């Protein structure tokens, strides 16, 4: 029996439900993305940050339905496409995971560059098509390979990235004093050598990495209040990146990000890689236009990156970075939430 001969018949479920949302699924290096293309309530606001706040204040219930179990899971990320308020932008996006909305997601933006061409938001031009995307952290540019109607790998050029603080010493529960660097790569992360915790990616479980990272984020956040002079709303630490023997010349950077409430990054992490490039440049370990490889410590997913140029953010020295990767489609799906569903979402801890 082939798929066209199956004997099953289903009534029109959409007539029985209060919510019907159509999505496109993608992944970049294993990092999942659910792009919302229709059916979600309108997200309003004058600016993109206004829209972000409106989503959290007025549509949080619907947002959680799409991201949490039983329709989602702990690692799920969503992209809500909205109208940009910057005239030069081709599109605008709000990034979201289980608890809240983030200011940047590099792997999701790499996927969106390809999606924008394949779904007709931007016309493809050979050999490379530029897609300008307004993110909550600012305007970024993706450069997507395009050949004979086919899209390929994507280069993501970041907002300015900078080091906020280095060698910050904090007392982490069970591990006493450890040292971290605080860097902005689209959002603020704490960067810490995993060896300080007696761990390495080869033998540590993901559960161990999550526990250590979350404890570190809590400790650093209680001591350090990072500040972005042009994006004050993002002036907090979003998560911790543990790295292994990586702050050296001519070696791949092996690391893993844990953000929010126990979310372990699957991809090579675009925003984390951008921050790493800024940190390496600050320490004199990488030059402009020098290529660097970034490897997820557990999944082995990779991105490559380089520094495009040096700039400033107000008085702070910063860099424009570029990371490269490939996104793939996982499918298209329509999600329902019937009016009488008494358990529309779950978040077990």
Answer for the pair 289, 307: CB distance below 8 angstroms, yes or no.
Answer: yes
Say if domain 162-325 classifies as CATH 3.10.310.10: yes
DSSP string over 84-153:
-SSTT-SEEEEEE-SSSEES--HHHHHHHHHHHHHTTSS---SSEEEEEEEETTEEEEEEEEEETTEEEE
- Predicted pLDDT of residue 293: 95
Q: Give the CA count within 13 Å in the CB-facing half-sphere of 325.
A: 33
Give the residue from 56, 29, 34 showing the smallest Cα distance to 43: 56
In terms of pTM, does the model score above 0.75? yes
Question: Would you name the residues annotated as active-site residues?
Answer: 105
Which residue stretches of the chain have pLDDT < 70?
1-6, 14-16, 246-249
Q: Are 310 and 317 contacting, i.e. CB atoms less than 8 angstroms apart?
A: yes
Q: What is the DSSP secondary-structure string of 200-233?
A: -TTT--HHHHHHHHHHHHHHHHHH-----SS-GG
pLDDT tens-digit map of 14-35: 666 788 999 999 999 999 999 9
Q: Which pLDDT belongs to residue 132?
A: 98
Provide the pLDDT for residue 2: 57
Q: Which CATH superfamily is domain 10-157+329-338 in?
A: Diaminopimelate Epimerase; Chain A, domain 1 (3.10.310.10)
143 — phi, psi (to 5°)?
A: -120, 110
162-325 matches 10-157+329-338 in CATH topology: yes
The domain ranges of the chain are: 10-157+329-338, 162-325
Closest to 40 (Cα-Cα) out of 68, 18, 16: 18
Task: Give the model confidence (pLDDT) of 76-96 as tens digits.
Answer: 999 999 999 999 999 999 999
Backbone φ and ψ of 341, nearest 5° = -70, 110
Determine the pLDDT at residue 1: 43
């Amino acid at each position: 029996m082939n798929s066209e001969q199956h004997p099953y018949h289903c009534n029109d479920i959409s007539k029985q439900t209060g919510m019907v949302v159509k999505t496109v699924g993608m992944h970049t290096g294993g990092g999942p993305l659910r792009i919302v293309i229709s059916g979600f309530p309108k997200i309003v606001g004058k600016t993109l940050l206004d829209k972000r706040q409106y989503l959290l204040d007025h549509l949080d219930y619907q947002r959680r339905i799409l991201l949490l179990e039983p329709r989602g899971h702990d690692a799920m990320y969503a992209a809500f496409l909205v109208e940009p308020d910057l005239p030069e932008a081709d599109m605008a996006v709000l990034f979201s995971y289980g608890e809240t909305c983030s200011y940047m997601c590099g792997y999701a933006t790499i996927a969106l560059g390809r999606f924008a061409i394949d779904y007709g938001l931007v016309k493809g031009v050979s050999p490379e098509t530029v897609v300008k995307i307004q993110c909550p952290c600012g305007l970024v540019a993706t450069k997507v390979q395009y050949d004979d109607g086919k899209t390929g790998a994507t280069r993501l050029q970041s907002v300015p990235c900078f080091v906020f603080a280095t060698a910050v010493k904090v007392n982490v529960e069970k591990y006493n004093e450890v040292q971290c660097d605080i860097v902005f790569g689209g959002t603020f992360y704490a960067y810490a050598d995993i060896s300080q915790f007696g761990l390495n990616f080869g033998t540590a479980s993901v559960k161990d990495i999550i526990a250590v990272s979350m404890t570190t984020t809590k400790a650093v956040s209680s001591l350090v209040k990072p500040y972005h002079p042009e994006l004050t709303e993002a002036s907090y630490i979003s998560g911790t990146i543990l790295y292994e023997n990586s702050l050296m010349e001519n070696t791949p950077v092996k690391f893993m990000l844990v953000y929010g409430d126990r979310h372990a990054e699957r991809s090579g992490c675009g925003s984390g890689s951008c921050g790493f490039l800024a940190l390496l440049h600050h320490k004199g370990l990488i030059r402009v236009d020098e290529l660097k490889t970034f490897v997820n410590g557990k999944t082995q997913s990779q991105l490559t990156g380089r520094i495009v140029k040096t700039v400033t953010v107000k008085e702070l020295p910063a860099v424009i970075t570029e990371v490269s990767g490939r996104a793939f489609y996982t499918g298209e799906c329509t999600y329902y939430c019937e009016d009488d569903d008494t358990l529309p979402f779950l978040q077990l801890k």
